[in-house]
Amino acid sequence: MGHKQGLILRCPPRLGRASKDARDSTMDAPASIDLLSLAREMIRRPSVTPCDAGALDVLEAALKRISFACHRLPFGSGESGPDARVDNLYARVGSGRPHFCFAGHTDVVPPGDKAKWSLDPFAGEIKDGQLWGRGAADMKGAIAAFVAAADAFLRAKGKAFAGSISLLITGDEEGDAVNGTDKVLRWMEEKGERPDMCVVGEPTNPERLGDMIKIGRRGSMTGYLTVAGVMGHTAYPQLADNPAHRLVRMLDAVARAKLDEGSAHFQASTLQITTIDIGNPATNVIPAEAKGVFNIRFNDQHTSKAITVWLREKFDRAMAEIGPGCSYKLEVKVSGESFVTQPGPLSALVAECVKAEINRTPELSTTGGTSDARFIRRLCPVVEFGGVGKTMHKIDERMAVADLEGLARIYRRILERVFTA
């Protein structure tokens, strides 16, 4: 599994329900979770992937106050790169069924040029009715809403609560996603921790809270194409074999082709060339090698394996049309396969809670990039619903305080529906 058992930090050794005395005393105590304070404290920890910077400490402390059993799960051993050490958190209260899981990430993308921000990106300031800072929208705000919703629900439910609520929080969603959610899920499977359903708090809404629920995501794969040729003088092309000419023909063959016309829940698959690199400083030299990189976002009509076969067929045909000579190498990196949670009980439940709280009927969509829902779907049905994503990854990322509060109320409604169904 790639982690050291001795590195599980500051956590109770037992999964499952917190002690009855602890939960009963919590129910009688004043509210311990302040939504805005928790969101601001997490934003103030500059948890740029893979650095946690104390964000999970803040979250863990809040969850322990409301009797969640917390388990810190670090994976990886390096300081950077694909095996960079990443801290993760799994927390659960209750031991019965149904088991509802909230999932998300505390890691954020770099802020860019801080001088261009209107406010310090890691100050967690509130101004003009907005919570400002890196991670406000994507997605520390939603995580704070998870906790506030769970706190309010548990206090209202009291001793009548017989199910389970968990949080699966990673520090590796914005990075390579190697030592994050995927490995936490494997750990959960080994421990018998299988949720019945999950909501991921990604900022799914394009313009307004309640616009959109994500029920799936396209797959993503990147191709690295290298063509080897024969170097020579541009005045004597008959003595060389230009790999750049072949590369252009090969890339054109796949760029012009349509993979599909879309499907019931997905838009058409797309292929985009992202770079062509030859590195030739001389204008009178035919290069020995040419490289190209492209990214494919594909729908549920394909697998990455089938698309790789399609690519090789296209490239082989293009090479044959030019004639024998050069050779090529294709390497493929798959970020995730396409998936969809068919519209049904979970998406309907979330949509009904959104409608009841803010009188808006969300669209069911699969647009956008990838998310950690691609891993979670192997354990249970999963949908995504969070804040508004207009400012995520941008300068001046922010989230309306009214949206944050509304999101927490929607999450509480979801819990109420799940545990009274």
pLDDT in tens, 182-237: 999 999 999 999 999 999 999 999 999 999 999 999 999 999 999 999 999 999 99
Residue where a domain terminates, one of 270, 303, 336: 336
Does residue 1 sit within a domain?
no
Q: Which of 41, 52, 57, 107 is catalytic?
A: 107
Interior angle at CA 57, CA 189 and CA 209, nearest 5: 80
Does residue 4 sit within a domain?
no
Q: For the whole model, what pTM was predicted?
A: 0.86
Least confident span in 28-42, 44-58, 65-79, 228-242: 28-42
Does residue 293 sit within a domain?
yes
Pair (171, 261) in one structural domain = no
Pair (264, 401) in one structural domain = no
81-86 mean pLDDT: 86
148-177 mean pLDDT: 93
| Domain count within the chain | 2
Pair (320, 390) in one structural domain = no
Does residue 259 sit within a domain?
yes
134-162 mean pLDDT: 94
Pair (94, 132) in one structural domain = yes
Residue where a domain terminates, one of 336, 358, 386: 336
The CATH number covering residue 270 comes to 3.30.70.360
Q: Which of 173, 241, 337, 403 is catalytic?
A: 173
pLDDT of residue 29: 45
Query: Per the structure block, which two tokens stand in for 397?
Result: 């990322």
| 310: enclosing H helix or E strand | helix 304-322
Establish whether 107 is a catalytic residue. Answer: yes
Pair (322, 345) in one structural domain = no
8-26 mean pLDDT: 32
Does residue 203 sit within a domain?
yes
Pair (34, 144) in one structural domain = yes
Does residue 2 sit within a domain?
no
Q: What is the C-alpha to C-alpha distance for residues 418 and 410, in angstroms, rounded to an integer?
A: 12
pLDDT at 30 over 80: no
Establish whether 173 is a catalytic residue. Answer: yes
Pair (48, 98) in one structural domain = yes
300-328 mean pLDDT: 94
Does residue 306 sit within a domain?
yes
**How sure is the predictor about 11, in pLDDT bands with cuts at 50, 70 and 90?**
very low
Give the tens place of pLDDT for each residue, 319-368. 999 888 789 999 999 999 999 999 999 999 999 999 999 999 999 999 98
Does residue 78 sit within a domain?
yes
Pair (310, 200) in one structural domain = no
Mean pLDDT of the chain: 91
Which domain covers residue 228, as residue numbers? 219-336
Pair (133, 213) in one structural domain = yes
Residue where a domain terminates, one of 314, 336, 358: 336
pLDDT at 27 over 50: no
The CATH number covering residue 117 comes to 3.40.630.10
Pair (266, 177) in one structural domain = no
Pair (69, 97) in one structural domain = yes
Pair (312, 286) in one structural domain = yes
pLDDT at 10 over 70: no
Give the tens place of pLDDT for each residue, 243-295. 999 999 999 999 999 999 999 999 999 999 999 999 999 999 999 999 999 99
Q: What is the C-alpha to C-alpha distance for residues 393 and 372, in angstroms, rounded to an integer?
A: 17
pLDDT at 20 over 80: no
Under DSSP, the state recorded for 66 is T
Compute how many other C-beta atoms are within 10 angstroms of the C-beta atom of residue 77: 13
16-25 LR contacts (CB < 8 Å, sep 24+): 16/69, 16/92, 16/94, 16/95, 17/69, 17/93, 17/94, 17/95, 17/96, 17/164, 18/67, 18/68, 18/69, 18/93, 19/67, 22/67, 23/67, 23/93, 23/154, 24/159
* Torsions phi, psi for 307 (to 5 deg): -65, -35
Q: What is the C-alpha to C-alpha distance for residues 203 and 389, in angstroms, rounded to an integer?
A: 5
